[in-house]
């Protein structure tokens, strides 16, 4: 698709989709959603950009190989499980800590690290597939 209307709407729609994907990622602990669905929405945003401007424009904008993003996400998800194993608990047991920064309590968990890892794996893998398919089209 190479229409001016599609290109004009692709940029703000992509930004909106990326913000929504982060919202879905962060909301996933208290309600349906999480890393997988959020990653799919983000990958769909990159696929939309590739359809509007071509896959090379997406590769130039992202600057990191999508498969590297997926590998980093897989590493983060594995590390989340190792924390519990190192603490003497079963693998992938959720652990929570509270950081006190400037009078604000920030709860952190291995569950969030795992979810972020899944998000990155899905974004990287699905974006790599979408860009490869888009590059092969005539």
Give tens-digit pLDDT for 99-112.
Answer: 888 989 888 888 88
Residue burial 87-110, b: 16+ Cβ < 10 Å; e: rest: eeeeebeeeeeeeeeeeeeeeebb
> Please, how many CA atoms are within 13 Å of residue 59, restricted to the half-sphere of its CB?
13
Give tens-digit pLDDT for 9-54.
Answer: 999 999 999 999 999 998 876 666 689 999 999 999 999 999 999 9
Q: What's the residue count for the chain?
A: 138
Say what angle helices 4-27 and 110-136 make with each other, to 10 degrees: 160
Determine the longest span between alpha carbons in the chain, in angstroms.
58
Which residues have CB under 8 Å from 10's CB, separation 6+? Answer: 48, 49, 51, 52, 53
Distance CA 135, CA 113 (A): 33
Taking the whole predicted model, whether its pTM rises above 0.85 is answered as yes
């Amino acid at each position: 698709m190479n229409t001016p209307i599609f290109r004009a709407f692709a940029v703000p729609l992509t930004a909106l989709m990326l913000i929504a994907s982060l919202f879905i990622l962060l909301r996933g602990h208290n309600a349906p959603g999480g890393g997988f669905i959020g990653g799919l929405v983000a990958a769909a945003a990159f696929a939309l950009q590739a359809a509007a401007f071509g896959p090379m424009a997406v590769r130039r904008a992202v600057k990191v190989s999508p498969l590297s993003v997926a590998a980093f996400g897989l590493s983060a998800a594995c590390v989340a499980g190792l924390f519990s194993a190192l603490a003497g608990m079963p693998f992938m047991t959720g652990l929570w800590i509270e950081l006190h920064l400037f009078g604000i309590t920030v709860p952190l968990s291995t569950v969030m690290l795992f979810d972020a890892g899944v998000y990155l794996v899905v974004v990287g893998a699905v974006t790599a597939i979408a860009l490869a398919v888009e590059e092969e089209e005539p």
